[in-house]
Structure 1
């Protein structure tokens, strides 16, 4: 088992913690999983990626860096709002701070 779980379901990247570990190991595991997904063609890019699940700040930075170059916009799920908040965008369809389902 890994310290960090990442799976793509449609346009939603489902993320979450696995085995207990410190952030240095979690960052390495998250990076390895993202690279594996890219090699398998699972992270092929597109107009929008939605991310849903818990992440530490170091892992959130790794995720953002890896996906912002291949997706036009990235939305992060906010459980208080029950919507995704656009946090990264290069796509004119989405503005920073837009709320989407």
Structure 2
């Protein structure tokens, strides 16, 4: 049973809900999956991470905390804009609020 799906596809962290559950369980499952991905090398870190697909606010904060330590910048896809909005940055190449493809 997986309450939250996370996988890296073509350099984009694809996320989404799995089996029905409450946020307390989903947050634990998302954190465990990110830890597993880090240990196996699937989530190595780097200059920029793009994140796409739905999540709740508690899950978004868990994801942000975990990946912000690994990547210089994090862009989250905004479907209305059709672009990734830089939401976390420690990288001078990306400014908060920049929009990228």
Q: TM-score range by the shorter chain?
A: over 0.9
For the aligned residue pairs, the C-alpha RMSD in angstroms reads 0.6
Partner of 1:89: 89
SS of 1:72's equivalent in the other structure is strand
Q: Structure 1: which 5+ residue stretches go unaligned?
A: none
- Correspondences of 1:46-65 after superposition (within 5 Å): 46-65=46-65
When normalised by structure 1's length, the TM-score is 0.98
1:35 equivalent to 2:29? Answer no
SS of 1:55's equivalent in the other structure is coil
Q: Structure 2: which 5+ residue stretches go unaligned?
A: none
2-structure distance, mates of 1:9, 1:33: 15
8 Å CA contact 1:11, 1:48 repeated in 2:
no
8 Å CA contact 1:38, 1:44 repeated in 2:
yes
SS of 1:47's equivalent in the other structure is strand
2-structure distance, mates of 1:65, 1:10: 22
1:13 equivalent to 2:13? Answer yes
When normalised by structure 2's length, the TM-score is 0.98
